[in-house]
Each structure stands twice: as structure tokens, then as C-alpha cells.
Amino acid sequence: MTNPFSLEGRHALVTGANTGIGQAIAVGLAAAGAQVICASRRASDESVAQITDAGGRATSVLVDFSDPMAGQDLFAGKNIDILVNNAGIIRRNDSVDFTENDWDAVMDVNLKALFFTTQAFAKDALSRGTRGAVVNIASLLSFQGGIRVPSYTASKHGVAGLTKILANEWAAKGINVNAVAPGYIATNNTQALRDDPDRNAAILDRIPAGRWGDAADIAGAAVYLCTPAAQYVHGAVLNVDGGWLAR
């Protein structure tokens, strides 16, 4: 019997795979059998080493997604059939003081680069007539407003919307498009929050699971959405938040 959770023979590209959630997803995809390309603006040597040391297959490529069109040449000739859009940035300031530069920087990476990278992936996959899977990394702020992160909130609302429109257009053509919305995950990006006793306590008090999430928690959900087991899942935004949004 074929294992519906296996990714043997599949080729995946993960953006922002050098650390944190992206690294965990790359490792998870490889553990499920996929050959993985780690695409990041910083070297992904650690991610590649984790995968190859465990007997998996991985390579890396340097790509700076602050150029929204940087992903245009990533797919030709590589037979990539899984794309995970994880690369993202955040800028914080009061909305009355937020600058145009900070707005544009976040929107370029989190939304514009995501769309045009996914477009390039789909063009290649559709031209080859192969099945494909796209997983976008959304956020709790795809549903909530947050504080002092206007461009990040706007971009992550946009990620949820793009996930749905691309699913509408490509579901019948063999490409699944879905998203994972992480809750509060213990990564470098949240170190300052975890180091603040008051913020840390307030966050933990809101999470029914009673703990910060691990990057591996996000990886499991993302890997599932790439497998044949999820072939009838289209346009979903899967919350992996310890129950945060249920409160």
C-alpha cells in the first residue's frame, strides 16, 4: 500500500530555510523523503547539514527576496513540485510614525515576492503537467490586528487572501495551495518577547496549550499539506497556535 504521507521522489524548495521555522520545515520535508533546496538570503549550511547528516538530500541557494522578482529563475529545469513560502520580515513602530520605507520593505518580501515566486513555480509546474503543492506561511495576524506592526499585519492578511485565490485558480489543474498560520513560536524572532517576563507571562496565559510552540510544530503541519494525504485540501489556512485563536 502506498504511504499517503510520503514525499519520496518529490522535490521541494523552501524560502527562508536557514533558521527557525523555515529550517524546521526543510528538515521535515526531507525526513518525509523529499529532496530539498534551501533558499535564503543567508547561507543555509546548518539546515543542509542537519538534513544530510540524517541521510536526507539537500542543497542550498542564496536568494534575497527583498527583490520581489528574485525567485523568477529558481525553478526551470529543477523539477520542483513543492514550494514553501516562509521568507518574511517584520518592522515595528506606532502606526502614526510608520515610514514608507518600512511599509514597502515588509510588503515586498512578505507579499510581493511570495506572489511572484509562486507564480514562477506554477508556470513551471503547469508547463510540465505535474502535480504541485504550495504552502504559504501566514500568521495569527492574518486574522487579528496586532499592535505596532501595520505592514506585517497587512501583508499576512494578504497572504491568506492570495492562498485562497491561487487555490481557486489552480486546484483543478493539480496544484494545491494552502497556508499555515503559526502562533507564538520559540524562534530568534520571538526571543525579545520571551525574555520580557510580563509579555511572556501574558502570552502563555492566553495559550490553551500552556507553552510556546516549537518550529517542529509548524513543520509537521506544512509537511502534511505537501503530501498526497492532503490532495483534497485547497485554500485552507491551518492555525497551529496551541489554541490561541480559540480563546
Question: Mind telling me the catalytic residues?
Answer: 152
> Cβ(84)–Cβ(95) under 8 Å?
no
Compute the distance between CA of residue 17 and CA of residue 15 in angstroms, rounded to an integer: 5
> Cβ(208)–Cβ(242) under 8 Å?
yes
- Across 176-189, b (16+ Cβ under 10 Å) vs e yields bbbbbbbbbbbbee
As given in the structure block, the three cell numbers for residue 123 are 508556470
Q: What is the DSSP letter of 140?
A: G
Which residue is associated with the grid cell 529545469? 77
Q: What is the DSSP letter of 228?
A: G
CA 149 to chain centroid, in Å, comes to: 19
Compute the distance between CA of residue 17 and CA of residue 42 in angstroms, rounded to an integer: 9
State which amino acid sits at residue 38: C
In 3D space, the residue among 59, 65, 56 whose CA is nearest the CA of residue 80 turns out to be 59
> Cβ(17)–Cβ(23) under 8 Å?
yes
Return the ∠ at Cα 216 (arms to 232 and 56), rounded to 5°. 85
- Non-local (6+) Cβ contacts of 123 within 8 A are 75
